[in-house]
Amino acid sequence: MLAAPASIGIPLEQVDTPALLVDLDALEGNIARMAKAVEGSAVRLRPHAKSHKCAQIARAQVAAGAVGVCAQKVSEAEALVAGGVADVLVTNEIVGKQKLARLARLAREAKVGVLADDAGNVAELDAAARGERVRLDVLIEIDVGAQRCGIEPGARALALARDIAHCRNLRFAGLHAYHGAAQHLRSPSERRAAIAAAAEKARLTKALIEEAGIACETITGAGTGTFLLEGASRVFNEIQPGSYVFMDADYNRNAWEEGWPRFEQSLFVLSTVMSTPAPGRAVVDAGLKASSVDSGMPLVHERPGVEYTKASDEHGVLKIAAGAKAPRLGEKLLLVPGHCDPTVNLYDWLVCSRKGKVEALWPVTARGALY
C-alpha cells in the first residue's frame, strides 16, 4: 500500500496529486439525505459498498440507519467484515469451491447473504455451508431487465426456491431484482417505466413462490438512479443504492424529478496542471489510471470553458475555449470522475477534507478486492 498523498491538517493546496478527495460535508449530507428518504417507510436501506469499498463509510451508513451493506465479491465482503461491518449481502453469484468455502467461513463472523441463479450452484452453496456448519441466506436473482445474471422471473424462480428451501444449510431469503440498466436512463419517465415493469415481475414471482408455501421475505434491488421508485412500489422492501454517497459525472447527467433528494458531488480527483504547451491546451497529471473513463471523461469542476477531452495513461488533455480562464502551470484542478466506483478502486486512500483542509485519511479497505 502506497503512502497517503497528504497528512491530516494540511490545506488542500498542499495535497500531492493525483489524489482522490472526499468532501466530508457533502458526503455526510448525502448519507443523511438517503437516511431521510427511507425514514418512516417499511423499506430497509442496505447501501452498496462496491462504490466506496471503505469500512469507515460503511460504518457511517450503518450508524445512520442502514441494516448492513451489499458487496459484490467475497474478498470485498471479507475486507468490510474485518473493518467492522456485521451484515453483508454479496449481491452476486459465487462460483468455485475456494470462494464458496471462504463465503461460508465469513458467515461464522457476520450475517452473510448471497445470490443464486442455478440449481447446481445451490447444491454447492449448501455443501460449503455444511462444511463450515453455518446457515447462509440465499436470494434468487431474477432478471428484471438488466440482461446480465439472473434467471427469468416466474416458474424457473419457483423451482429454484424449492431447491433452496430443501437445503438444510441454506435459508431461502427472497428475491434480488436489481435493474442496473435502468439507473442511467436519463429521463424520470423512462426510469419509472423500467422499474414499474421490474416491480411487477418481482411481485408475480413472489406471489408464485408464496402460493407454493415458501416464505419470500426480502425483495431487494434499486440503485441511486431509481431507489425511490422501488421504495414506493410496495413490492421491494430493501434498497441498495451505492453511488449516492459520492455521485459522478454520469449520474449527474440524469434528469431528476421534483422531490428527488439532491445528492451533492462529494468525490473529486485533485489534479495538477503539468503542461500548458500551446494556446487552448493544458494537460493535467490525471489520466486513465486516475479516473475511470468507462462512462465518459471526467469533468473539470467549476471551470466553465475548460473541457477534459482525452485521457491517456497518466495525462488528461484539457481544451480551453476562447475567452475562458486558462489554467496556469502548477494550478490544481478538481475533476469529477465519469464513474465513481471503478475510480475509487484505483486508489489506496480517500483524502477527506472539510472547508479546504484535510481532516482524515481513510484507506480504501477493499481496493482491488476482485476475488
Binding site for a second copy (CB under 8 A): 1-2, 5, 14, 16-19, 50, 72-73, 75, 92-96, 98-99, 117-118, 120-121, 143, 147-152, 180, 272-278, 281, 283, 285-286, 288-290, 292-294, 310-315, 317, 329-330, 339, 341-342, 345-348, 367-371
- Which SS3 state, helix, strand or coil, does residue 249 take? helix
Least distance between a second copy and beta carbon 123 (Å):
12
171 DSSP β-pair partners: 137
Dist CA 189 CA 281 (whole Å): 39
String of DSSP letters for 38-96: HTTSSPEE--BTTTT--HHHHHHHHHTT---EEESSHHHHHHHHHTT--EEEEEEE--S
Q: Which is nearer to a second copy, 268 or 347 (CB)?
A: 347
Dist CA 50 CA 144 (whole Å): 21
Q: Which is nearer to a second copy, 48 or 206 (CB)?
A: 48
Dist CA 249 CA 34 (whole Å): 19
CA-to-CA separations, 170 to 44, 95, 161, in angstroms, rounded: 22, 16, 11
Least distance between a second copy and beta carbon 42 (Å):
29
Q: Which is nearer to a second copy, 37 or 248 (CB)?
A: 248
Q: Which is it for strands 238-239 and 44-45: parallel, antiparallel or unpaired?
A: parallel
Q: Which is nearer to a second copy, 50 or 206 (CB)?
A: 50
Query: Are 48 and 223 in contact, with CB atoms under 8 Å apart?
Result: yes
Least distance between a second copy and beta carbon 32 (Å):
26
Query: Are 27 and 38 in contact, with CB atoms under 8 Å apart?
Result: no
Q: Which is nearer to a second copy, 231 or 287 (CB)?
A: 287
Q: Which is nearer to a second copy, 42 or 95 (CB)?
A: 95
